[in-house]
Structure 1
Amino acid sequence: MRNHTAITTFILLGLTDDPQLQILTFICLLIAYMLSVTGNLFIIILTFVDSHLKTAMYYFLQNFSFLEISYTSSNMPRFLYSLSTGDRTITYNACVSQLFFIYVFAITQFFLLTIMSYDRYVAICKPLHYVTIMNRRVCKMLVFSCWMTTLLLMFPLLILVLGLEFCDSNAIDHFGCDANPLMKIACSDTRLLEQMIIACSVVIFLMTLVFVVLSYAYIIRTILGFPSAQQRKKAFSTCSSHMIVLSISYGSCIFIYTKPSAKDDMSINKGITLLTTSISPMLNPFIYTLRNKQVIQAFNDLVTKLHPSQGSRGMLK
């Protein structure tokens, strides 16, 4: 704890003070958390054990699933603990750590989704060179660059957050540690931190969005040039899951940063954050697997290995 920080613990106000609503929220979030961890862990295991899922696409999906588990685990268990015990206090160090990891995992997800857009571009627009371009070494370098870029962006912000002074209120109007409610209760000057957060958010959002739009512009143009409707349908099918996840991710950011009024500022922020940290990680495994025949086949093969007498009869088809 730094000497200039008078407050050593914070109080997370959460979503509601209604006991019945808290019980319902706890049950729903616990189920969502368990499903998200199980579903994403299922994808990671499949991509490790099945030889047919060793392509670049599934390597990126494996890393994305790891990020989903990490992101939802960075604040959801703490919130579930708060709902179940009524203990809303969190230490200064725990709060800053939670804030840091939430932003690291969230920003890395955006960069990884952008890389996955490039992967789909190469697969559809340059299919003959796909294996050469998206080789194992290139994929590892791309994932590594996502993490390094995020950390380089986050460390200056972390230093500014550590320099904040809290000497009056310690009540955070959120269910987890977030930058905006923290800055609202700080008694030191937060203008530089606010400007840096806005600048980083705009740069990351616009940079990744432009790259994604350009990638899919080329993809759509290439697909429309295919001679048969079957080829076009198959090509669009390979991109549909990624496009849905992109829509959820960018849509959430737009809702968070485009608010109808200052009065509803924090309530909307908490609602969208809750969706992105609980519902999105739960839905993504289903989005990527239900329409993916290779993943379904890999699941059936794994069941056959584990239960050879039963085979894959009656399993996913």
Structure 2
Amino acid sequence: MTEAELYTVYKGVYMPASIHPPQSLKYFEEFSFRSDDIIIATYPKSGTTWMQEIVPLIMSGGDPASVETLPNWQRVPWLEVGQSQLNLEQRPSPRMLATHCQYNVMSPSFFTAKPKVIYVMRNPKDVFTSSFHHHRMASFLVNPGPQTEFLHKFLDGKVQFGSWFDHVKSWLNAEDKERIMYISYEEMIMDLKDSVARIAQFLDKSLDAEVTEKIAERCLFKNMKQNKMSNYSTVPRELMDQTKSEFLRKGTSGDWKNQLTAPEAEHFDAVYKDKMKDVKYKFVWD
């Protein structure tokens, strides 16, 4: 199926229509935030599922029941999916919520309530690589087709949730940066224990060294991948055919080197250099 058949265009970006129908987008636009909400914001395939494991464990003081009893889309719901059946309005604080949306399209109450945000970034070459495999297994996304063709779509922002460059810049340019924690997928790979400790500190959650260690151990990719409440294995094959590609595939950094050809990588670098030339933030992968 084509983009026109599978996607809706919302504020200039593609979104899978089956997951984000008009009523879901209306729910997102009108959502009422609280000041003590915790928002996990990411561009797709940047470490969202990982953070949906880490944050509940931190907030529960390391209690594994927090990630073993509910699928991640229920424990940390997607705002733009409009899961009104989860009665988010009735949930006790602090609520944990997720979004793939850019900063500038958040609902009005987001800017007045000023909840805390954890914004996770990842090397866009690895984002592309993960996205390419994800598009092969998810029926609600356009078949990626030839790799070079999909690469041009990705670099042009003609994929779900638009341009990686626009997305990252929108959150890096956000106001009230003191309420946003910027962290990269690569930092988490390099030192997960330190990352857990920093996230806990940002969330004003006091954890002793032993609990921090246990959370980090549990959230190692190889361990998290075994959690049926996190690996999307309960999702029907009609939606996600994990025989084509696992949802939690490798969890590594630098896999793009096995995916992109030398000319593709060179083209990617040229586009990246141009698009990010005015960005002052120092990325781990630069």
TM-score, normalised on structure 2? 0.29
The structure in which a higher percent of residues are strand is 2
TM-score, normalised on structure 1? 0.27
The structure in which a higher percent of residues are helix is 1
Higher Rg: 1
